[in-house]
Chain A
């Protein structure tokens, strides 16, 4: 694998191999260090060393703090809206609710629960938000894919 890093740096792997090697480096800190060292050797041989740019750490730290940039197929206007503010590497820290919708279907009523006017029969006023909340958060829910009309 180390030799692959050397070949990668020379851009002598085919496209597939390049992709694989890049993924490998992402997983393995030691491979990444190899890459850095080989690049350092190259820069040294080409006389591009300088104190100011010796270490990439501060640049990498700064990039780390940036929101993740993702490109989609079309305009940058969209990409702007897509920026998710989160500092960690390679992560989408996301959690929220999704408005699933349910189609209103068969009804059944139980008259023994009829109460004076301070209560609603749920058959008359379907508690859609509870149904939605259940569908969003239940760990196994095939009904995720069904839809309701909007209210």
Chain B
């Protein structure tokens, strides 16, 4: 029986759907930016999951640019998506509800990997925006055309120094997130994702929901052990930066000589940070220091024979604070 509760689908789905349809009616009647402007964000969050659309968007950070084609369908029962890398290696991802299958070709083979569902553009907004409200304030900007559609600019300004500002372009008609920018504290663009073209459709046809298959290559399932949700109180974590809360805690096997690593993920609704803690095996060197790789900040230190590593698309100060939030970790 299908008993898995999909993470991406809001709890209380019916209420959410009703809310969405009510919002849709409401917003078509009322003027923009009256009453509660957060409704726009709510609508954007819903739109990415509820609607069926197909388009091409471009992801950029200051090092590179990548075009991605996405097809997303919701037939009122399940969400289906196909995401194809258009530049570089022809990687593609097929998802159905919370189940994800990734096809990763190399020269001879295609590696098939299973994966837990993840919120990917344009579905990057959480279903519970209360979470986001406490950390960001909202204001409206102008209107611009994105991918051939009229869009309303919305700014999410951080309430403190622990997160970056977001600038979003929301489709005027359907609310879908069409473009998004993450800026640093100097207003420099860290990351940007934007649709070049997009169309909405109502058909329930799923003919597109199939990977493109290369018959010359061998297809291999990648046997990777699953992450295990952990309840173990491995270490004491307190004094997290405001707005960040734990969204998951798993253990996973990592590294060239695989060892068990605890991973916590903290999020303020928009950005997320991973904290890794593992005992340092004898004879292995520990890692320390501070680094920025692409849009991610990384911080590493050692505590009581344990390796601590923090990674996230947030200011370095946040990374530090999260690293410092580990009060104690027993010598393991």
Contact = CB atoms under 8 A, between A and B. Distances in A.
The interface size bin for chain B is: 35 or more
B115 A98 contact: yes
Interface in A117-151: 117-123, 125-127, 129-131, 133-147
Contacts, number: 236
B252 A75 contact: no
A144 B120 contact: yes
Given A92-B101, A98-B115, A137-B274, A113 B301 contact: yes
A141 B272 contact: yes
Interface string B171-209: 000000000101000000001010000000000110000
Contacts of A143: 61, 191, 294-296, 313
Contacts of A144: 118, 120
Most buried by B among A20, A73, A133: A133
A126 B226 CA distance: 24
Most buried by A among B220, B227, B250: B227
Given A140-B124, A140-B272, A146-B61, A99 B104 contact: yes
B99 A140 contact: no
A118 B62 contact: no
Interface in A69-98: 70, 72-75, 77-78, 81-82, 88-98
B74 to A, nearest CB: 13
The interface size bin for chain A is: 35 or more
At the interface, is chain B mostly helix, strand, loop or mixed? Answer: strand
A1 B125 CA distance: 37
Contacts of B254: 129-130, 133
Contact of A19 (B93, B204, B276): B204
A108 B99 contact: no
Contact of A95 (B226, B286, B293): B226
Nearest to A144: B120
Given A93-B4, A94-B101, A115 B288 contact: yes
Contacts of A130: 254, 274, 276, 298, 309, 311
A23 B204 contact: yes
B279 interface: no
Contacts of B210: 70, 72-73
B159 interface: no
Contacts of B250: 137
A91 B99 contact: yes
Contacts of B219: 78, 81-82
A27 interface: yes
Contact of A138 (B101, B191, B274): B274
B135 interface: no
A95 to B, nearest CB: 5
Contacts of A81: 112, 218-221
B149 interface: no
A107 interface: yes
A121 B115 contact: no
A18 to B, nearest CB: 12
Interface of A: 19-20, 23, 27, 70, 72-75, 77-78, 81-82, 88-99, 102-110, 113, 115, 117-123, 125-127, 129-131, 133-147
19 contacts: A73-B210, A73-B213, A77-B215, A78-B219, A81-B112, A95-B227, A97-B224, A102-B293, A105-B63, A108-B290, A119-B302, A131-B293, A131-B296, A135-B296, A139-B118, A139-B265, A142-B193, A146-B295, A147-B88
